[in-house]
Amino acid sequence: MAIDRAVDIDEEAAPASPGKKPRRLWLWSMVLLMIGGSGAGAAWYLDLIGPVGVDGIAAEERVRPPIYFTLDDNLVVNFQSPGRARYLQVGIELMTRDEAAIPVLKRHAAVVRNNLIMLLSDQSFEGLSSREGKETLQQAALEEVQRVLVEFHGSPAVESLYFTGFLMQ
């Protein structure tokens, strides 16, 4: 009988399988956690989660192609130079990646042209004779266009301004 009792004790100790279930559950939760973490890490690395990439430019800004807007006519202004009147004729194109800015530029082209004419007529012949003078004027003209867009569009929208023609006489 003593042997039967020992067997009964071992049989009572045998249901140790419920102790393995929490261990198995813990193992599966760790596996799922690692798979989920790997997926999140890959998505972040591929720039699917965050809108800003390594270079600080939003992903949608990188993929949008540039759109060019040409001011219809060349701008012609006169400015004084020692001894005689001088003329400046400038062709201008604007570059944006915001499609919504094009209708705003078309609608307010008169304001843009006016402000650029006022800016151009304040220049001197000597100042515009050098490359640095032209680049300074280009930057000032870009800032002027951006001011107009901020007023009417809410954002500067135009990234670059290009002189497509530049004639001084």
Q: What is the CATH number of the domain that holds 99?
A: 3.30.479.30
Q: In whole angstroms, what is the distance from residue 81 CA to residue 130 CA?
A: 15
Residues 140-165: tens digit of each pLDDT? 999 999 999 999 999 999 999 999 99
58: DSSP letter: B
Tens-digit pLDDT profile for residues 41-82? 776 676 555 555 555 555 555 678 999 999 988 999 998 777
What letter does residue 160 receive in the DSSP assignment?
Answer: E
Please check whether residues 89 and 158 belong to one and the same domain: yes
Q: Both 96 and 41 in a single domain? A: no
Number of domains in the chain: 2
At residue 2 the predicted structure's pLDDT band, cuts being 50, 70 and 90, is: low
> Is 72 found in the same domain as 30?
no
Give the confidence band of 32 by pLDDT, cuts at 50, 70, 90: confident
Q: Are residues 138 and 86 in the same domain?
A: yes
Kindly state whether residues 34 and 82 are assigned to the same domain.
no
**Same domain flag for 35 and 74:** no
Q: Report the greatest alpha carbon distance in the chain.
A: 132
In a domain, 27, yes or no: yes
Please check whether residue 147 is in contact with residue 116, taking contact to mean a CB–CB distance below 8 angstroms.
no
**What element of type H or E holds 91?**
strand 84-96
| Main-chain dihedrals φ then ψ at residue 105, nearest 5 degrees | -65, -40
Q: Are residues 105 and 141 in the same domain?
A: yes
Print the domain residue range for 7.
2-45
